Structures are given as C-alpha cells and as structure tokens.
Structure 1
Amino acid sequence: MATIEILGVPHAYELTAPTSYPHTLVFVHGWLNSRGYWQPVISRLSGDFQCLSYDLRGFGQSQPNKYTDFIHQGVSFELSSIQRSDFANPFESLYTPAAYAQDLTALLEQLNITSAWLVGHSLGGTIALWGTAQKPERIRGVICINSGGGIYLKEAFEQFRLAGQRFLQIRPRWLSQVPLIDLLFSRASVVRPLERYWARQRIVDFINADPEAALGTLLDSTTEDEINRLPQLVAQLKQPIYFIAGAQDKVMEPKYVRHLASFHPLFQYSGNNVIEIPGCGHLAMLEKPDAVADHIRSIVFKHSEIKVGD
C-alpha cells in the first residue's frame, strides 16, 4: 500500500506493475467498501493490465484529517451541507459523486496516468461516469458493476435514506466482537454467503468509515437531482460504457441497470453493453470474480488494437 495526498486528504492506493497494454485499469469501490474488494479481480487481470485501486475519501484507509479545511478546486465547502436534501450544483458538497470524481481525476494526474479504463462498483460506477465527463481525454471507457438507476422513486428513496441513516447509527467499535456478527455480514446483499474473511472485512470497513463521509455519500448520491442527472450523464459520454449486473441483485436490480445503459448510444445500436451474471447479487467482484475478470478482459481487448499475447 502507498499513500498520496489529494486535495488535502491522504489517499491509500495500490498500483500493480506496468504491462505491454498501454491503458491502466482503475477500480473505484462502492459505499462502505474499500479497495481490497477488488483484489480477487485484480489478481486475475494484473498479468495483462496495470491495475490501480484506491480508497475513496473517508473510507478504508483514506481517512481525512479532521483539522484540515477541505477545498475542492478553490471552493470551500461546509460539512453542514450534507443536511441538504437537493443540490442544484453537483459540486456544492464534499460528498457528491462529482466531488469524488474530482479526487479520482486528481489521483490520475498525480500518478501520471494519462489513459485509463474506469471500473466502478455501485456508487463507484457513478463516480467513474462523472470522472469520465470531467476528464474525457484521459478515459478510454467505463465498466459499471452493480451500478445503474436514473429513475427517482420518491417514497422508495426516502425509505432507503432513512434505513441507511439508522444503519450508520449502530457502529460501536465493539461490534466486531459480537459472536457470529460476521455471519450476518457474509449474507447481506449476496446470493450465497461470502467467505468469512470478506465478512470480517465488511465489518471493519463499516465501523471505520468516516461518519461524515458515510452519511454524506448516502444523502448526496440519492437526491432527486442526482438521480435524474444520471441518464443525461450517460447520454453525453462518447467513450464505450458497459454495465455488468448481478442477475439476482436486490440492491440494484438488472432492470434499473438496463434502464441507465439504454441512454448510451452504444446500446441503441447494438444492445450488447449490458451483461448479466447468473447467480450473482450486489457484490459481483467477490461473488463471481472469474466471471467479472473475464468480462472486463473481453470488453477492454474488444476496444483495443492490442490482443492477448502480442
């Protein structure tokens, strides 16, 4: 693990060795997760591609200094802004996907990564889309995993935000010592129970997430403005955008993945930018790492003049 300061916050990241393939794969994790969840997939891809994974600001080991004044692009933000329900400007808060995309593009610049494919899980998929819009010259394409949406259902989102806020209130440090608590985390949002190692990691990431970042991302990524902005965002991107869905994902159902994918011109012409993985829930990279890695490899090489073995 290495660290690098981005806009005043130390970010933890891992970068594998370069390969003959000229474009780096950059992996963006989702809410209450961390970069480690990508390792099963990266271990299967790093022979062909250089891979970058990092912890989003406030998650994993990218913890903000509480005494640091956060500044994005010369604009100071107040943490109290997370209490707002809607944002006319996606950069008005520290915790919108657009703000996290600024972190991402700054990371690419500091690591001198000039050409990349972005691979984002859940919230990370939205961040990847925003990052592509902000720095299109650096991004070759996007692969969103368990990520979709674009339909704002008021009652459903209000219930989701309320449940999420209650969930975040129950995070004592001793939670990890509760007998069999890892069995609960091994079953959440997946089709088959995860290995207990990953269940323990989910507990660690849940407990250690910065409170302001955990709540801020929950609220700021689910406003009506933010949800309605997603189809417009996908429609304007020129790069190939692919969506990998878990066929049994109850958090981001495939119908919502297909809905968002349909706004990209690639879908209108060929209809093949959505891939469903059978027997898979919301954590495809842990549940089906072989399938996810194979699909990523196939997509990336499909859009490359360099073939395996060259």
Structure 2
Amino acid sequence: MATIEIRSVLHAYEFSKPTSCPDTIVFIHGWLNSRGYWQPIISRIGVDIQCLSYDLRGFGESQASTHSKNARELLTSSNLTPNYGSYYTSDVTHSFESLYTPAAYAQDLITLLQKLQIKSAWLVGHSLGGTIALWAAAKLPDTIKGVICINSGGGIYLKEAFEQFRAAGQKFLQVRPRWLSQVPLIDLLFSRTSVARPLDRHWARQRVIDFVVADPEAALGTLLESTTEEEVNTLPQLVAQLVQPVYFLTGAEDKVMEPKYVRHLASFHSSFQYSGDNVIEIPNCGHLAMLEQPDAVSNEIRRLVAQHSSGA
C-alpha cells in the first residue's frame, strides 16, 4: 500500500505491475466499502492490464488524521470496537459544504490520476463509485477512455422513497457501538446482506470492518449528498453528455439497485440504442458483483477494454 495526499487527507492506493496495455483500469469502491473488494478482479486481469485501486476519502485507510488511528488499528486487529460516540451529535445533518458530493469525490479522483501521471484510464465503479466515475469522465474526457458501472444506476427521484432511505441510512450509521463485535455471528449477517448467495466469511468480516471504520462525516455526507433530488435528476443528463463508451453491469438479483433502474440510467447514453446494448446482466448475482461473480465481471471488463483498445 502507498499513500498520496488529496484535500489534506492521505489516500491509500495500490498499483498492480505495468503491462503492455496503454490503459490503466481504476477501480472505485462503493459506500461503506474499501479498495480490497476489487482484489478478486485485479488478481484475474492485473496480468494483462495495469490496475489501480484506492480508498475514497473517509473510507478504508483514507482517513483524516483525527480518525486514522482508530481505522488503522481496526484494519490490523480482530477488535471491531472503536468508540465513535463523540462524532455523533444532535447536528448530524449539518451542511457538509459539498465535500461529500459525487462531484467532489470525482475531483479527488482526477487529482489522484494527475498526481500519479495516468494519461489513459478506464474507470470501473461499484454502486456510489459508479456515480463518481461518471462525474470524473465528464470532467476529464481526454484522459478517461471509458466507464464501466457495476451495480450502479438510478436517475429517478421518488420523494417518499428517498426520504425513507435517508432516514433508515442515518439510523443504520448510528448503530456502531462498542459491543458490535460481541454480537454472535455478526459476520454471518454481513455475509448475507444485499447478495444473492452468502459471501465467504473473509468478505463478511471485511464488510463489518469497513462499516465500523468509515469516518462518520464521510459516511453520512455521501449518503445525504448522493440522494438529493438535484443529484438524482442530474445523473441522466450526465450520462447523456458523455462521449466515451459507458457500460453497466447489473446483478439479476440485485435488490439494492434493481436491473430496471440500471437500464433506465443506461438508456440515456448513445450506446444503449434500442435494446440496451450497453447493459450486461449477470445471473445469480446481487449487489456485490465483484465478490459474487468475479469471473463474469473480470471477463466483461477485459472484453470491453480490449474491444475499444483495438478500435472495434
């Protein structure tokens, strides 16, 4: 692991070895996740294409100094019991000054690409990471050659549903007490959430760790900022203006971002045509495609990048 400073926060990132391919694939994780979720994919395609994965600001090991010590300790120990009580106040819904919008995270990504001198990249984003990838592609079209969104879609704002989602999300984030790790078989719960089939216990445990170590402001800020009416309604316009190829991989059994919402957002891109040519549905797959179906996801990424690299 290496680190690089962006917005006064040390961002953790990892590079695979250089290859003859002129492009770099940059992986962007989703909400309450971290860069490690991409390892099953990178282990399969990293031999052919150089890969970059990193932790978003406030997640994984990309933490502000006031929070990084707790995060590092949790990531390297079996104790999942930090005390975040001091972070939560009655003013948890205060303004985040646009630090946690998808566009702000896209700017972080652009800074990362520039500092690492990456001149040609494909972006692969999961869930929230897909939205960040779309924003970055709009801001940096000369460098970003294409986008692959995984379990990522939307673009339809349903007021009541989104208000309920935000309220539930805020309550969910506040339930991170010291005794969490003492709950019997807590990792089994995380192994079954949002997936079509239970995950391996290793990944379930990683989900618990990422849930607990996420910086409270970043976790809440990204939840609120990515689900505003303006943000949701902007997504289709964003996709429509992109000149790069944009593809959407969706899990057939994804209950978090259902295939119909993925297809809706994909339909605004010129490559959708009339039959959804830019949508690939993966069978027996929920919301964590890179962990549930790594072979299928890897094969599609390799195929799509090669297809456009060869000018096909």
**TM-score normalised by L of structure 2:** 0.90
Match of 1:83 among 94, 106, 119: 94
Hey, what does 1:56 align to over in structure 2? 56
C-alpha displacement of 1:306? 8.2
Hey, what does 2:148 align to over in structure 1? 143
CA shift digits 1:122-151 (9 cap, x unpaired): 000000000111111110000000000000
Counterpart residue identity of residue 144, structure 1: C
Counterpart residue identity of residue 225, structure 2: D
C-alpha displacement of 1:53? 0.2
Instruction: Say if 1:183 and 1:55 are closer, same or farther in 2 by CA, change over 3 A.
Output: same
Long gaps (5+) in structure 1: 68-79, 85-90
Q: Is the 8 A contact 1:173 1:207 kept in 2?
A: no
C-alpha displacement of 1:175? 1.3
C-alpha displacement of 1:7? 1.9
Q: Is the 8 A contact 1:95 1:216 kept in 2?
A: yes
Q: Is the 8 A contact 1:33 1:206 kept in 2?
A: yes
CA shift digits 1:233-277 (9 cap, x unpaired): 000000000000000000000000000000001112663100000
Long gaps (5+) in structure 2: 68-90
Q: Is the 8 A contact 1:82 1:220 kept in 2?
A: no
3-state DSSP class of the match of 2:152? coil
Q: 1:1-310 maps to which residues of 2 (within 5 A)?
A: 1-66=1-66, 83=94, 92-268=97-273, 271-305=276-310
Counterpart residue identity of residue 231, structure 1: P
C-alpha displacement of 1:305? 1.9
Mapped to 1, the partners of 2:35 and 2:93 lie a distance apart of 24
Counterpart residue identity of residue 23, structure 1: D
Q: Is the 8 A contact 2:248 2:266 kept in 1?
A: yes
Mapped to 1, the partners of 2:135 and 2:238 lie a distance apart of 7
3-state DSSP class of the match of 1:83? coil
Mapped to 2, the partners of 1:205 and 1:116 lie a distance apart of 27
Q: Is the 8 A contact 1:161 1:218 kept in 2?
A: yes
Hey, what does 2:84 align to over in structure 1? none
C-alpha displacement of 1:64? 1.2
3-state DSSP class of the match of 2:142? helix
**Aligned length, in residue pairs:** 289
